[in-house]
Structure 1
Amino acid sequence: MTARTLHKVTFLSHGKVYELYAQRVESGRLWGFVEVSDLVFDVHDGLVVDPTEERLRDEFRNTRTLHLPMQSVLRIEDVEKKGQSAIRDAESGEKVVTPFPFPARPR
């Protein structure tokens, strides 16, 4: 039985650094692009849900293939197991966390 290949792809988009996991990364059919497909997200059935993972899953829900410009790709790593996907601020490197929505205050 062959172990499936897993890649950690780190790329820059709109001032944020994205870290995603995918099963396929190829030189693009479009010149100057890298094709990233078969994205891998954690499936949580329990109560604890990672908001960043949820946000990434929502953002790339219907994506079959990402065509990333070569200039935006920072790193592609072959990894043994999936880690935590992340969105980081490009300048500070800190994780971008979606704040919990609070109800509006009555006026």
Structure 2
Amino acid sequence: MSKSENPIFKVIFVNQGQVFEMYAKAIYQSDLWGFLEIEEFVFGERTQVVVDPSEEKLKAQFEGVIRSYVPLQAIVRIDEVERLGVARISEAAAGNVMSFPMPVPGK
């Protein structure tokens, strides 16, 4: 499998009791300790007749956002994908999502 020149990443993270599944072109460790920076969000085109309300809600929520800083412990998974999927929000079921353990600074 060869590396793509313009990779697309699927990022899954927890935010206020909801699981966000989003697509972005740039992800990297932030200069802010304990955060991941996510830039260049990608959403599906509106060429389809069927509109996904969850994706539309995400589009509206992240409209005008240049960069998001997500705490590392909120990240569930990051995948580099070949194709763009549908961004979505779902409710986090109890016991379904586990936060990534974080070391305590100075210990």
The one-letter code sitting in structure 2 at the alignment partner of 1:75 is: R
Partner-residue secondary structure (3-state), 1:56: helix
Aligned to 2:79: 77
Shift of 1:48: 2.1
Task: Give the alignment partner of residue 23 of structure 1, picking from 18, 22, 25.
Answer: 25
The superposition leaves residues 55-96 of structure 1 with CA deviations (integer Å, 9 ceiling, x where unpaired) of: 100000011001000010111111111111111111167xxx
Q: TM-score, normalised by structure 2?
A: 0.79
The one-letter code sitting in structure 2 at the alignment partner of 1:50 is: D
Shift of 1:46: 4.8
RMSD: 1.5
Q: Aligned pair in 2 of structure 1 residues 6, 46: CA closer, same or farther (>3 Å)? A: closer
Counterpart Cα distance in 1 of 2:48 and 2:27? 30
User: Which ranges of structure 2 fall in alignment gaps of 5 or more residues?
Assistant: 97-107
Aligned to 2:8: 6
Counterpart Cα distance in 2 of 1:23 and 1:50? 21
Q: TM-score, normalised by structure 1?
A: 0.79
Identity within the alignment, %:
35
Equivalent residue runs for 1:38-57 within 5 Å: 38-57=40-59
